[in-house]
C-alpha cells in the first residue's frame, strides 16, 4: 500500500517586527559592532607578542580573533543587506527604516562573503588557496560608515537606541597619516594615507 503524503504546509507571511521589539533588540545590534572591534584589537595585540614560548598560543589567539571578527562582520552585513528574511524573527535594517537601502561595497560584495563562508561555515578544498589576509582596518571603517548612515536616517527618538554605537564609532574614527608603505593597521600602501584607529577601551 502506498504511503499517504502529508499535505504541505502553506507558507504564511512573515509578521512585521514591532517598534518595541526593535528598541529591545538595538543593544544586540550594537553588540555586533563592539564585539567585531574587540576581536580586531585582540588580533592586533596577539601580533605584537614575540616571545617564542607563546608562539602556538599566539596562532590560536589570532585564529580565534580573526574568525570572531569575520562572524560579527558577516552578521552586520546580513542586517544591512537587502536580502529577504528567512525567518520571521530575523532582524534587518529595514525593520527600523522602511526605506533603507545601501550600495556599500562591503554589503554587496558577493565574492567577499563567499570567501568568509569558506573560512567560517564550510569545509572546502578552496581553503587551500583562498586569500587568508583580511584588511580589518578597512573592513571596520566600511561597517562604521554604513552604521553611521543608518543611524542618521533613523527617527530622532530612535537615535538614543544606538547611542553606544555612535560613541564607539566616534572613538574609533581614524586619523590619516602619510606613510611609505602599509602595515596591519593600514588600508593602503605605496605612500597612501594610512588609517590609524585608537585601541578599544
pLDDT digit string, tens, across residues 24-45: 999 999 999 999 999 999 999 9
User: What would the pLDDT profile of 140-166 be if each residue is shown by its tens digit?
Assistant: 999 999 999 999 999 999 999 999 999
Beta bridge partners of 176: 195
Instruction: Among 54-58, 73-77, 118-122, name the one with the lowest average pLDDT.
Output: 118-122
Assign 196 a pLDDT band (cuts: 50, 70, 90): low
pTM, two decimals, is 0.81
DSSP string, the chain: -PPPPPPPPPPPPPPPPPHHHHHHHHHHHHHHHHHHHHHHHHHHHHHT---GGGHHHHHHHHHHHHHHHHHHHHHHHHHHS-PPPSSTT---HHHH-TT-----HHHH-HHHHHHHHHHHT---GGGGTS-----HHHHHHHHHHHHHHHHHHS-HHHHGGGHHHHHHHHHH--EEEE-SS--TT-S--SS-EEEEPPPP-
Beta bridge partners of 196: 175
Assign 1 a pLDDT band (cuts: 50, 70, 90): low
Does residue 69 register a pLDDT over 50? yes
Cα separation of 195 and 145, whole Å?
A: 14
Cα separation of 74 and 68, whole Å?
A: 10
pLDDT at 123: 82
Nine-digit cell at 93?
535594517
Amino acid at each position: 500500500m502506498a504511503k499517504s503524503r502529508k499535505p504541505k504546509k502553506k507558507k504564511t507571511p512573515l509578521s512585521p517586527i514591532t517598534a518595541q521589539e526593535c528598541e529591545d533588540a538595538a543593544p544586540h545590534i550594537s553588540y555586533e559592532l563592539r564585539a567585531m572591534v574587540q576581536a580586531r584589537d585582540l588580533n592586533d595585540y596577539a601580533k605584537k607578542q614575540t616571545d617564542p614560548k607563546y608562539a602556538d598560543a599566539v596562532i590560536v589567539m589570532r585564529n580565534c580573533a580573526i574568525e570572531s571578527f569575520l562572524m560579527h562582520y558577516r552578521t552586520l552585513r546580513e542586517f544591512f543587506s537587502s536580502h529577504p528574511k528567512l525567518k520571521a524573527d530575523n532582524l534587518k535594517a529595514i525593520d527600523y527604516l522602511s526605506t533603507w537601502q545601501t550600495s556599500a561595497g562591503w554589503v554587496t560584495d558577493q565574492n567577499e562573503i563567499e570567501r568568509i563562508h569558506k573560512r567560517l561555515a564550510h569545509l572546502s578544498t578552496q581553503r587551500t588557496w583562498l586569500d587568508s589576509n583580511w584588511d580589518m582596518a578597512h573592513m571596520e571603517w566600511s561597517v562604521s560608515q554604513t552604521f553611521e548612515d543608518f543611524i542618521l536616517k533613523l527617527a530622532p527618538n530612535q537615535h538614543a537606541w544606538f547611542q553606544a554605537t555612535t560613541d564607539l564609532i566616534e572613538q574609533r574614527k581614524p586619523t590619516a597619516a602619510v606613510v611609505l608603505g602599509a602595515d596591519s593597521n593600514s588600508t593602503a600602501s605605496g605612500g597612501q594615507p594610512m588609517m590609524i584607529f585608537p585601541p578599544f577601551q
